[in-house]
Amino acid sequence: MKSITLLPNTHRNCNVIMIVFPFDEEIKQHIKLLPEVKWSRTLSSFYIISSKGNLHLLFTHFRRKKWLVDYQKLRKEVTRPLKERYKLVLPQLSEELNSELIRFKKWLQQKRLSENTVNTYTEVTAFFLRYKILKKVEPYSVKLIEQFNYDFIYKANRSVSYQNQCINGVKKFLLFKNLEINPLSIERPKKEKQLPAVLSIDEIKAIFNNLTNLKHKTLLSLLYSGGLRIGEALNLRVEDIDSKRMLIHVKQAKGKKDRYTLLSVSFLKLLREYYLAYKPKIYLFEGQNKKQYSNASAQAVLKKALKKTKITKRVTLHTLRHSFATHLLENGTDIRYIQELLGHNSPKTTMIYTHVTNTSLNNIKNPFDEL
């Protein structure tokens, strides 16, 4: 019997219910039938606003398939008080605007944008159209967009990343409508420049030593040894491992680009052991019914391993990629090679690792030591 776990969480200052399950295409498509359910890249999970009505909706929806629903942690959760924040109640879309939104989504899909980007742009555009109804204005104007930017994003204290997504989505919608609004003075705000968290070699070892499951250990070892994004690792197929040239072929990664990255000799031994034990058919990492392994499952693996270590840093799957790049730089690898291995368009992106490496900093003599 297929099983689904409901977990409590908070997202964008709202209490939500996360819908977690081992990757299964049937479950995924069935969940998508509910318009109230959204996908979050931040949570790496489907979610719905937490309420008794929505919980009943989920149970009714999954009961039709006779699937097992585990909601024990949801029952034990004590709702955390949320900060008081500005609330903007938006009216629902008319049937005409809803149809236009569907056409806009199809237009985005024809542009071959990623599924996540299409869903995000469609969602933020829906908010913009609902805001337009609230303001009872007919033509699209700079003033309307600026008001939406202020009321819906700034006053609600939404993140810079979300603000950029909203601006991008609205601009795409105006392009879809073939509308030129000049001057469109809303620019994408600059993100805060934060240095990535990096694990030491000993911390990496501690994580791997606390992984007893062979598949889990192989997956996380791949992320570190190849400097891969989690999506790239999960999309790898068996034939993408080139043991003769000791390379991993990463196909159609971010920016729809192919690249090669390193295949570690030590990792290859672990990979062969894993292959003999699990015998994957298509994808290198497969879940139930030989389907592609899920992002949520990979996140859970890391979280479980971290609990057994004494690491206090905020660590994500992407931290393994950051650590790979930093350790290469500390070992004297030319930053241009690191750029190629990571698949960065610009060396400026790779240069961030020069700020977190210990090699250069350790060569600086602290004046306090002269006192």
Active-site annotation, residues: 229, 254, 318, 321, 344, 353
User: How wide is the angle at C-alpha 351 spanned by C-alphas 349 and 357, nearest 5°?
Assistant: 130
Sign of torsion over alpha carbons 123, 125, 130, 131 = positive
Please state, as a whole number, how many other Cβ atoms lie within 10 Å of the Cβ of residue 203: 18
Cα–chain center distance at 33? 22
351 by Cβ neighbours in 10 Å (0-12 / 13-18 / 19+) ranks as: middle
Nearest-angstrom CA–CA distance, 259 and 22: 29
CB 223 within 8 A of CB 209: no
Nearest-angstrom CA–CA distance, 250 and 18: 30
Please state, as a whole number, how many other Cβ atoms lie within 10 Å of the Cβ of residue 135: 11
Taking alpha carbons only, the member of 73, 81, 71 closest to residue 14 is: 81
Taking alpha carbons only, the member of 220, 251, 289, 245 closest to residue 27 is: 289
Please state, as a whole number, how many other Cβ atoms lie within 10 Å of the Cβ of residue 225: 22
Phi, psi of 187, rounded to the nearest 5 degrees: -105, 155
